[in-house]
Amino acid sequence: MTKKIIITADDFGISQKTNQAILKGFNDGLLTSTCIMANGEAFEHALQEILPDCPNIGLGIHLNIIEGKTVRPIHRDSLLCDNQGNYDNGFVQLLARSTNKAFLNEVETDFRIQIEKILAKTTVCHLNSHVHTHAIPNIFQITCKLAEEYGIKYIRTQKEIPYFIPSLQKHLNLKYPINLIKLGLLNTFSKINKKTLKKYSVYSNDYFIGVTYTGYIDENAILYGIRAIKEENSITEIILHPTVDINKKSNYQEFLSITNSNLKNEFLASNWELTHHGRLLSDNKTF
């Protein structure tokens, strides 16, 4: 029995430098999966210039209602966007509005158009979202409904086992306590969302790595996170936001981590199987 690991780069299509990092991370590193943003500035570059060179990568949809412009026609009375079509709700605002029926209908419409734009150009095997917005329980239910409708079998959940890296530097900053608050919130949502999954013909990961050390993930964050997972025959998704842009230090560090030779050797020597959602489904494995 093995622990199955999916290493996903989010934000495919957000910029050419992110796209380049994903290509290199897949061909020369440990990356097995990515997810594309329908409204990314480098969306076409991702599809035309990058995807053909990594045909075996697990491709998903990165739903986005929190950054950039909507891909649907602008409506003056939108609860999701401003008059220019820019998304103008932060995570807390999205959560506060998630009991508003009109708002949820707009979210569903926006998600649907994003999904259809991507499916018109390629095939996918999983769904998730930018800044975990689909984790909000009422929005998660919409995501499950659409996944079932469009035949997408996997949706990300964010159950992360708390773990600790023995590094003072990683904890003496404001990011760490904020990340712990996010961890508590997303773990709570995941308990609710796992129940919602049972109502639909979709699957999810058992565990997740990418919240506790958001903003400063490196090879140690990956290793200590995986070592915290003791359950055999489990599926864990690790998320990264890599770039080859050295001016974005934390994202560049994430890029370096997935091409790190020591990390590669650790994976080879350990009982971890690198995979992606589509491969598991094609092998008739259940989640």
Residues 47-106 pLDDT 10s: 999 999 998 999 999 999 999 999 999 888 899 999 999 999 999 999 999 999 999 999
At residue 42, the pLDDT reads 98
At residue 247, the pLDDT reads 97
At residue 1, the pLDDT reads 55
Cα dist from 110 to 104, 142, 175, whole Å: 10, 11, 31
Q: Is the pLDDT of residue 287 over 60?
A: no
199-203, 228-232, 267-271, range with the lowest pLDDT:
267-271
Residues near 257 by Cβ (< 8 Å), separated by ≥ 6?
217, 218, 219, 221, 222, 240, 263
Rounded to an integer, the average pLDDT of 275-283 is 88
**Domains delineated in the chain:** 3-282 (3.20.20.370)
Rounded to an integer, the average pLDDT of 257-271 is 84
pTM for the complete prediction?
0.95
Q: Is the pLDDT of residue 285 over 60?
A: no
N residues, the chain: 287
User: Distance between CA 3 and CA 212 in Å, rounded?
Assistant: 21
Rounded to an integer, the average pLDDT of 202-220 is 95
For all residues of the chain together, what is the average pLDDT?
94
At residue 57, the pLDDT reads 97
Question: Among residues 282, 221, 256, which one has the least CA distance to residue 30?
Answer: 256
pLDDT digit string (tens) for 139-198?
999 999 999 999 999 999 999 999 999 988 888 888 999 999 999 999 999 999 999 999
